[in-house]
Structure 1
Amino acid sequence: MSAVVPRTPTLPANDILGLDADLLDEERMLRDTVRAFVQRELLPDVPQWFEDGELPRELAQRFGELGLLGMHLEGYGCAGASPTAYGLVCAELEAGDTGLRSLVSVQGSLVMFPIHRFGSEEQKQEWLPRMATGEALGCFGLTEPDAGSDPGSMRTTARRDGSDWILNGTKMWITTGSIADVAIVWAKTEDGIRGFLVPRGTPGFTTQDIHHKLSLRASVTSELLLDDVRLPASAELPGARGLGGPLTVLGEARLGIVFGANGAARACLEAAVEYARTRIQFGKPIGSFQLTQAKLAEMGARVAAGQLLALRLARMKEAGTLKPEHVSLGKYSNVSAALAVAREARTIMGANGITLEYPVMRHAANLETVLTYEGTHEVHSLVLGRALTGLNAFS
């Protein structure tokens, strides 16, 4: 039996709809720069970082050198890039690993953005330039052991003592918590929820890492412990009042997740296509079998739709027409689609798919975390349901 020689594909797995043509030159150049950096400098080490459950702190400086930290903010050493450019970068980072994208999105969207939006000029000058270079690292303390999807039920408190604030409480599942130089901690006060900047080393403020994770392993995840932490009045974010503060911050970060999850899905599709074209069974590539092609077609359709959705949401943000419900749609759709793509890619690769030699099982495991952080899949479905019906299912 003569060998089957695959022809050159007419649809590239990384851009099935030809969306490259809709990007600006500077967006495309930045995307290509980050893609090459991830593939050349990071991917060789990602499997080991995942296996060891770590992510090197010095990556922050390397991302800072590329101008990726707080890249969508203006001034204070930030690049002032477009939402589309930021999203494309998140897609490339998560095509490498969710931990890479999480580091950049936490730093830029969950820490630098609230300082930029709600902070005093002194706070901005103190933290943003150093954060943009990666010299200083931050974390976002909202989630608690008993307050995840319902942040309004948080137990962390801040009470006044003269002109100072005294904070007590615990924050859980905090990315980069133990290696951060400052934590943005959200706490209940007599006047509602407020945000505070808590520098590392403040008496009463300690952290401990969460180990034995089976997902998002190439990332530092910590618990923040606050025991009578005394802060000056200048530590409060003056522009943040009520639950709308942290929710606004989360909305800013979720666009990166919409792009990032699709980047993970695209990486799985590319790996599965390459494997199916070269893996020989029964005398020919498994990609020539109808069942395998059906799987790849479904995966390709999900990836292409996700790319189109992400790009549309970014352009809406640039036009000022993006609503929180739109971002919920993006996270709801793209994360679940990416998880389905990763799982299907694993079946194409058989036993090889469960090893770290290939990225698909690592992405599948990571996406289990992405499915539930920054708003669970169920919560985003209720946000969409409320937007479609005008009826509130939360209460």
Structure 2
Amino acid sequence: MLKGKKVLLGVTGGIAAFKAASLCSKLVQQGAEVQVIMTESATKFVTELTLQALSKHPVYTDTFDEKDSGAIAHIALADWADLVLVAPATANIIAKMAAGLADDMLSTTLLATEAPIMLAPAMNIHMYAHPAVTRNLAELAARGVLLVEPGEGLLACGYTGKGRMEEPETIVDVVKQFFARQEQRTALPLAGKKVVVTAGGTIERIDPVRYISNDSSGKMGYALAKAAAELGGEVTLIAANTRLAPPAGVRVLSVESAREMYEAALGEWSDTDILVKAAAVADYRPKTPADRKLKKTGETMTLELVKNIDILETLGKQKTRQFLIGFAAETNDVEQYAMDKLRRKNCDLLVANDVTREGAGFGIDTNVASVYDANGLVTSFPLLSKEELGLRIMELAASRLAGAAK
């Protein structure tokens, strides 16, 4: 399944480096061409000769040890790779990548490559949970670096918890899925499909200069619209309060309030194939907005609010053939609330996230999410850039739509 794929395997200095030999072997068995870069620390755990024998290529460890006088090794390897896989990825290499340091063969190559990068972290449970590591991983995810989350279990240090590098078989499966997604994107699975995405936080006017809104930046919705267009869809983006530039090839309808967003969505609804309801719509609005700026008249002010139309629920009741995707931003009991919302609003898929988690939520470039359908959890996505998450969600929707059409 990996025939002809070029994987540059980076091995760093942790006890999980012993798994790199098995990982290299399994990638080669699947048809991949593998070249290996090891850090000096990695050679303390597994020898260069081992990985040379398994990859059938010379192993690189020293930036200045040029094996071919006709090429600069770290540039040649950076250009050669279809995917750079760092397994294990220690806290040290993660920090170097986040800071842009290039002080050895691997970090220099990582800085030079334009190929996708995938990390399989491995470290002590407390190191993995440290705020600096969490921050660095969020920074890398925002740049599009992919993460194979570590597993849980007994660690070499004696602790039990999250931090052990995923098993080689699992990492190989993730690599296969990565290349399968690349091919699927090339095939344009949403060609001929009309996709409508709502994004941003709605504004409910109190008076001409004040309003009620929320913290939504619109980044997730814009990423979904961009993804749908890249997958071949005919995309309409209904955008509320946001300062983002429209994605290329996407038709944009600008709205302000929940009522305006509902009317815009309803106007597109009849011939829509997929509606992605990613906007953060205000639940309530002022009952009587003032037509002039309100003046201070006392120590307190009473503002009467009335309920807005529930766009997702209303369209969910009206749907016939449309595929409906809802979003739920929660702070606790995520699965319980997600399943309840999915059923009440007749969604086909519900994307939920805990906005209190590091790297998830409003206004940032990353997210962590789980997707549910009527049968429960479909899949959980690790920390990803919102653009990558948008692609994963739209690919899932396209596959569901294709399955329903058969």
Q: Same fold (TM over 0.5)?
A: no
| TM-score category of the 2 structures, normalised to the smaller one | under 0.3
State TM-score, norm by structure 2: 0.21
Higher relative CO (Cα under 8 Å, sequence separation at least 6) belongs to 1
Q: Larger radius of gyration, structure 1 or 2?
A: 2
More strand by share: 2
State TM-score, norm by structure 1: 0.21
